[in-house]
Structure 1
Amino acid sequence: MVENPEVLFGGTTQLLALIEMIYASVHDPTLWPAILDRIGVAAQGRQTFMFTQTSDPALPSALISTSTDPEALTQFIDYYAAINIIAEPADAVFRDGDIRYSHWVIADDELERSEFYNDFFKPFDMHYSYGVKIPLPQQPSIYISSQRSKLEAPFADREGHVLKVLMPHIARAFDIHHRYRCLNAHINAVATALETMDHAIMGLNEEGKVVLSNRPADEIARTSDALHLVNGSLSSPDLQQDQHLQNLISGAVQTRQILGVAPGGSILLRSPSGRSPLQFTVSPCPTPFGQGRNRIVAIVMLHDPEQVPMSRAEILRSLYALTPTEARLADMLFQGKNIVEAAEALRTTQETARFHSKRILAKTSTHRQAELIRLMASLPGSRTA
């Protein structure tokens, strides 16, 4: 007769603690050996294995309880997995999600005649085995199994109930872990793309706090006296401007939360030190992304007119075969310098600078400096020329 779940795990408190640990493994995969220990204790198994088939470097594809000899896992992966006499008949009899019992698919005398048993199971005092293949959405199944000695009874319904109780929680934890991985990969890709932009970009969460920013934004937050960033909150030192700024931010955030209809807006933030005003624009995020506190619902774009644009020299040399001098000159024109200023910076004559300028236009198939600037603005920048 199957016991109540609480009894199997030593009480309600122990069962809830184990379930909590399983969900905590979403962010801390190092908890799995301890989780497998508790599963092994509840199932009265001497060894417990888990195979995940994951590509996540933070989560090994094979894990064992701390009570399991690591050498058993090493030998299984290196050789005995390929001659596992139990796996194939178990796959034929049991579906994913069914509790699998080794003695249901192979007789003791057949098992004991095999190389798998005599050279692997027996030296590690393993005879009976049971486990489950847990199906996961959009991922390979994971497999958990426990083994015990021949001196003990085969695994039965009582032990099967241990895995049945935990299976939905394990599946859910792995699904959440996978979703977080995909989400983080997406956010990292966005953050990487933002680094190629001259404009400073910030992502705001549902509280209107900054949870994502690129390096130009970080630089403005660090050096600007027109905009302050404290504990994730943006503000202006000018009280009147700050009220306008907060209205723009809250309006954009509430629009994505379907609590308002404000489209966002722009404001010039004056600098107390007399520098050029900082251009600030906030808009609702067309497609919010992220989870929880890091869910981005609004985008802030900043532009400091005094900020030097990122270099396009390297990509111009790659795409249009510009010489190093031509690439440097193109960068200077992109930064707003005229030929006279560029020639002085390059320590050359104006005639030579004009000659290089004409070669740049010819190589890039542009006819005027304005076309060249428009082309360069469309290219990703880098922070090293």
Structure 2
Amino acid sequence: MMKNIYVLCGGRSPEHEVSLVTAMTIINGLNKQLYRVVPVYISREGCWQPLEPVTHELASVEELRAQTGSTVSAASSAADFLARLAADGDGGACVFPALHGEYGEDGTVQGMLELLNIPYVGNGVGASAASIDKTMTKKIAAAAGIPQSEYLYFHRQDWEQEEAQWCQRIETLIGYPCYVKPAKLGSSIGISCCANREELVVAITEAFRYDGKILVEQEIKGREVQLAVLGNERPVCSVAGEFVREADFFSYEKKYESGTLIKRIPAKLSAPVYEKLRAMTLSLFRALDGSGLMRTDFFVTDRGDIYLNEVNTLPGFTKNSMFPVLWEKTAGTTYTQLLDRLIELAMERHAGKQVTALQGVEA
């Protein structure tokens, strides 16, 4: 019997459009001989709409953008879908959350699926929730002994009450240039590089449009190097990759709209530096209790010093994104094979949880 793969896409996050691109590529890459592929569009308002099973090649993300209707509430539409999903049961369904950012990559959807006992691709509740919050990731990384740049974080109320004091703290501890980031957002949305106080105030105001907590980091002069992880209890790490580009801020436009990015895989690293990166990547994966997949990004200076930049539990996933290309270069894994492997890992983790639950009942 064909397994139903429900691909969640869209969502309430500012990364809604990026999610649709990811989902379209995943849907086109899935083996339709093995899976019955059902897109589930989630509107910007949070309404859920399962679409018809896809048997053809999607030509545009517009094929995923359903009209949910103004009279349908987010709660009732989600309940209808979850009832359908629960009816599949007994291993007949697996969810592939192709959702970036909050309300999808942050543990919320994962927790809902755990309650329904439905297998899903990717990281669990804890890893998703910790990794989406850059400040939590930094604390866990520090406990694991992974170096990182100086940083400060604060909430909107802190800024409103003590704007001048926070500017002074940033200038004293971090200095310029510095980076201002929403704590819980990806794809470089809401991130700014600041060279003085005037730019800093503008950047903080912009970042608070996306999150009530923001992070300010010291700039590290170095190349950004990325590594990919696959696995559950026995994770494996890819070779390292990097984008050949100028050493400036990697904006949303450069990531998704320039069309001129060139990858260098393997990255230009000495063997000892790569081994350090690999060890740190696997250590952080375990510290976060990762499962399925993860991408870690580091800065490497000319002296070979290493600093963590960020962790991504649902990295960019088009065929040209760094994560799938790293696995193609590491093990010859095709995009379709990578999707198969992620579904296998999801089912493996789910089966393990069933054994643990049964043993708990028997005890």
Q: TM-score range by the shorter chain?
A: under 0.3
Larger radius of gyration: 1
Give the helix-richer structure, 1 or 2. 1
> Per chain length, whose mean CA-contact separation is higher, i.e. which structure has more relative contact order (CA < 8 Å, sep 6+)?
2
Give the structure-2-normalised TM-score: 0.25
Give the structure-1-normalised TM-score: 0.24
